[in-house]
Amino acid sequence: MIYLICGEKNEGKTVRLKQIFLTVRNAYGFAAEKMLKGGSLVAYNLVNLRNGDSILLAQIRIEPGGCVAESFAYGPFCVNAAAFVWAEEIFEAAQTAEADAFFFDEIGRIELSARGYSKLMRTALESDMDIYMTVRNANIVDVIREFRIKEYVQIRAR
């Protein structure tokens, strides 16, 4: 089954995803955790939900247009392409362990433009695992259409 954890920006989708993760037997996945400095968002880390390991996912660009070679610009962020490879490794571990479920945080505009977790999402949706993903309300219809999701359960973040 596919589970869409939906809500607005900053409404608690990631928190809800983590809560659900703790209740699912033999689950794998990742969450994007905000990094704040002085109350302002400066970066996101991608965190392995099974062991707490993390990798930089995105950080606010200090210089306009200034991202390192292994990253790409998206809005005000430099997005670390290596984080998506790392996410694929978590999924491979889930397949090896014959996991019951896999968790994605978050599927959005980057994936809808065929980047980010797009390829991994398509692979995961073809697996036998239950898939849980966070999606902003504004992107639900596009995500369902783009990834050809036919049956799903919608879970409100709050």
Does pTM surpass 0.75? yes
Residue with tokens 């809560």, as numbered in its chain: 19
Q: Tens digits of per-residue pLDDT, 87-130?
A: 999 999 999 999 999 999 999 999 999 999 999 999 999 999 99
Please indicate whether residue 123 or residue 73 has the higher confidence score (pLDDT). Answer: 123
Segment 34-48, tens digit of pLDDT: 999 898 888 999 999
Contact, 16 vs 91, CB < 8 A? no
Note the pLDDT of residue 81.
92
State CA 155 to chain mean position distance.
Answer: 16
pLDDT for the residue numbered 75? 85
Instruction: Kindly report, residue by residue over 127-154, the tens digit of the pLDDT.
Output: 999 999 999 999 999 999 999 999 999 9
Q: How far is CA 31 from CA 8, 94, 122, in A?
A: 17, 15, 18
Name the CA radius of gyration of the chain, rounded: 15
Residue 98's domain is classified under what CATH number? 3.40.50.300
Please give the tally of structural domains in the chain.
1
Q: Which domain holds residue 115?
A: 2-156
Query: In sequence order, what are the beta bridge partners of 155?
Result: 5
Q: Would you state the pLDDT for residue 70? A: 76
